[in-house]
């Protein structure tokens, strides 16, 4: 099961600046960004509430980082570290 990861934070003016941390959001595979995005910390945001970022900029949501399966999720690489094992003898 593959999920795509996004980074996003709430738009300015919707919450206080101190709460505008960058969440790590998961989305199902495909080209479309769903209307609702669930963050790893458990928060759910509407797509329109979020400013989507290509990278973590500013203060990250610590709980999201803790819950994220990979230590440094990368959008472009798609990188799930899969070990390729050759044909076993």
33 Cα distance to chain centroid: 12
Find the binder of Zn ion among 23, 26, 45, 50 (CB under 5 A): 23
For residues 72 and 87, which CB has a smaller minimum distance to Zn ion in the complex? 72
Shortest reach from residue 1's CB to Zn ion, in Å: 21
Q: For Zn ion, which residue of 41, 51, 60, 67 counts as binding (CB under 5 A)?
A: 41
* CA separation for the pair 89, 13 (Å, rounded): 61
State yes or no: residue 50 binds Zn ion (CB under 5 A): no
At 51, is the secondary structure helix, strand, or coil?
strand
């Amino acid at each position: 099961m593959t999920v795509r990861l996004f980074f996003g934070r709430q738009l300015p003016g919707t919450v206080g600046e101190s709460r505008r941390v960058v969440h790590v959001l998961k989305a199902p595979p495909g080209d479309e960004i769903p209307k609702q995005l669930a963050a790893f910390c458990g928060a759910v945001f509407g797509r329109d509430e979020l400013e989507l970022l290509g990278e973590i900029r500013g203060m990250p949501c610590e709980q999201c980082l803790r819950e994220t399966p990979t230590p440094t999720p990368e959008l472009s690489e798609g990188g799930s570290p899969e070990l390729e094992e050759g044909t076993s003898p």
